């Protein structure tokens, strides 16, 4: 029973990570805006300190928009 639960949890985490990466490749601007929205919700003044720190870590960088030349996702055209 415990083995099945652990296996399901690990598989779910791996699938979630893979989908997150795929979403970043297919729609980087959409992912950045959703990530920014989540980070701002976590950084509300009423949140505990650890949630504020998590929000700061989740905040996307300024150059994460498509076309900025960051070459993180591999979808930007090369010159």
Residue whose pair of structure tokens reads 């297919």 in the numeric block: 26
28, with CB counted inside 10 A (0-12, 13-18, 19+), is buried
- For every residue of 1-65, DSSP letters joined together read -HHHHHHHHHHHHHHHHHHHHHHHHH-HHHHHHHHHHHHHHHT-TTS-HHHHHHHHHHSPPGGGS
Whether pLDDT at 23 is above 90: no
pLDDT in tens, 46-69: 989 999 999 999 888 765 555 555
């Amino acid at each position: 029973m415990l083995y099945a639960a652990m296996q399901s949890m690990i598989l779910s985490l791996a699938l979630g990570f893979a989908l997150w990466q795929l979403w970043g490749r297919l729609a980087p601007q959409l992912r950045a805006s959703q990530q920014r929205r989540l980070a701002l919700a976590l950084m509300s003044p009423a949140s505990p300190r650890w949630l504020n720190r998590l929000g700061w870590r989740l905040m996307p960088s300024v150059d994460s928009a498509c076309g900025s030349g960051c070459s993180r996702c591999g979808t930007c055209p090369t010159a």
